[in-house]
Amino acid sequence: MRTLWMALCALAHLWPGALAGCAEAGRCCPGRDPACFARGWRLDRVYGTCFCDQACRLTGDCCFDYARACPARPCFVGEWSPWSGCADQCKPTIRVRRRSVRQEPQNGGAPCPPLEERAGCLEYATRQGDDGMVAALVTSFPAFITTSAFNKERTRQAASPQWSTHTEDAGYCMEFKTESLTPHCALENRPLTRWMQYLREGYTVCVDCQPPAMNSVSLRCSGDGLDSDGNQTLHWQAIGNPRCQGTWKKVRRVDHCSCPAVHSFIFI
């Protein structure tokens, strides 16, 4: 390649205009564009029509200066917006955050990453009493859970503007021993709810608590059973099939979950 460049430079002195390419033609085109061409040397050492479109890298007919005249530029995106509120109150639903494209990819640059993320959430309405106290009977609700595979779509980043950058790893794991469950769990065979088939009585399961399911003030997940003494029967319900539900008892709290994948879940 170095020898080729030396030969082309020497030719430029002997034959002005012989090195006409993408830069001189002022062309850089996305995709495959037969009209995006120039006259000059190609990278395969053939002189004639050469191209300045993105597809020329695949067809091997780029002008000699394509990489320099049309450098690849990756997509750049902005920061994530704050998480939206839950779509509804007092029942499992979703919250959303988005980011915008600051620079579209050019000349074969890296494509844009996902511009929207969704996460499960559960939000409770509170009532203002006559005595000025705010009461929310969160402990009376079951723990809403889904498979830990859903966690691939949800990171430990800030769930709201109230989260600081120092709480990204503030999550924890609760271990429970299942006591009972309804027969509807074993009947699930849909792709997104098949994980319910692996729920069994008498097994120890792990449930991860992390943002945005974690409350930004209490640093707790609803239904985590952290205050129970281990003998108290707690209730859980699977997201995706409200008839798949049951009871369990708290075993312990740990920093990180270590259960098998089929027995690993997350709070919603």
- Taking only the tens place, the pLDDT of each residue in 150-184 is 765 554 444 444 444 444 456 899 999 999 999 99
Q: What would the two tokens of residue 213 be?
A: 């399911």
Give the mean pLDDT of the chain. 79
The CA distances from residue 190 to 143, 185, 194, 199, 207, in Å, are 22, 11, 5, 15, 22
Please name which of 120, 136, 126, 135 lies closest in space to residue 86, comparing C-alpha atoms.
120
- H helices within the chain, ranges in order? 2-14, 22-25, 56-59, 66-69
For 66-98, the pLDDT digits (tens) are 988 999 889 999 998 887 877 776 666 677 889
266 vs 177: CA distance, rounded Å: 15
Global pTM exceeds 0.85 = no
Min mean pLDDT across 5-9, 112-116, 213-217, 247-251 is at: 5-9
Write down the pLDDT at residue 161.
Answer: 46
pLDDT at residue 18 above 70?
no
Find the mean pLDDT for residues 31-38.
89
Query: Residues 254, 159, 93, 139: what is their CA dihedral angle, to the nearest 10 degrees?
Result: 50
Write down the pLDDT at residue 124.
Answer: 53
What b/e sequence results for 7-21 when a residue is b if at least 16 CB atoms lie within 10 Å of its CB, and e otherwise?
A: ebeeeeeeeeeebbb
Find the mean pLDDT for residues 241-257.
91
96 vs 215: CA distance, rounded Å: 16
Q: Which of 134-148, 161-175, 216-230 has the highest mean pLDDT?
A: 216-230
Q: What would the two tokens of residue 5 be?
A: 């460049």
The distance from CA 86 to its chain's CA centroid, rounded to whole angstroms, is 18
Confidence band (pLDDT; 50, 70, 90) for 15? Answer: very low
The distance from CA 248 to its chain's CA centroid, rounded to whole angstroms, is 31
CA atoms within 13 A on the CB side of 41: 17
SS3 label, residue 211: coil
Sign of CA dihedral 63, 67, 69, 70: positive
